[in-house]
Chain A
C-alpha cells in the first residue's frame, strides 16, 4: 500500500542553521510528492511539490528533490528563521488518484533566536 514516513520531531535548531527533514515513501509507480506546512493556529498550506522523478520543488527558501532511486523527498533549507517554526508534513498522491493525499505524521520544527 501507499505510505509516507518522516522523521520524528521535534527538531530544534538555532536561527541560520541548516535544516533537513527526512521523508521516504512507499508507492507504486510515480506518485506526486508534496510538503505541507502548518503554522501555529493556521491551516495546512502547500509549501512545495514535485510530480516526477528528479524534479526539485522549491518555495520560500525550502527545497526538496524527488528521488525515485531512494524513494525520498527530503526537505532542506540553508538558513532557517524563527518564523519557520511550524509542523511540516510530507505527503504523496498516488498515480491512480487525482485527489487522495497520503500524509506522514508530521515533524515539528522549533527555531530559536
Chain B
C-alpha cells in the first residue's frame, strides 16, 4: 500500500515568490499534519487537520503560511512572499485520527519537500 507522498521533493524559489507544497495522505487516514524541519532543528508543528473539524493552525509562524485540505484528502501548504528563513524541509504526516484513539494514533510521515529560498 502507498504511504504518504509529497511533491515536489525539492523546490528552489526566489525570495518574494509564492510556493505550494502538496501532500497525499494514506487512504483512509482522517488526520493530516504539516511540520517544518529547519537545519539543525527538530520538527516544528505547523498545522493539523482532523476530518471536517476546524484545523489547529497554532503552529503557523506567520500569516504568509496557509494550508488547505480539500475533500478530506489531499492537502496543500502555501507560503506567500517567501523569505530566506522559510528554507527548510516541510514534512507531512497522516494518521487514523480520533477514531483510532490517542494510543493508536500513530503518525506516518512522507519523505518531505526541501524548500530553498534564494
Contacts and interface: CB of A to CB of B under 8 A. Distances in A.
Contacts, number: 53
A51 B104 CA distance: 11
Contacts of B4: 43
A45 B3 CA distance: 11
B65 interface: no
A106 interface: yes
B102 A98 contact: yes
Interface in A69-90: 89
Contacts of A4: 42
A1 B3 CA distance: 33
A100 B102 contact: no
B48 interface: yes
A101 B107 contact: yes
Interface residues of B, number: 29
Contact of B43 (A93, A98, A101): A101
Nearest to A105: B42
A48 to B, nearest CB: 11
B98 interface: yes
Contacts of A51: 103
B45 A101 contact: yes
A41 B6 CA distance: 13
Given A43-B3, A98-B98, A98-B102, A103 B109 contact: no
Contact of B109 (A45, A93, A104): A45
B95 interface: yes
A68 to B, nearest CB: 19
Interface of A: 4, 32, 36, 41-46, 51, 89, 91, 93, 98-106
**In the A-B complex, the 7 residue pairs with the closest CB atoms:** A103-B42, A43-B109, A44-B109, A98-B102, A103-B43, A105-B42, A43-B111
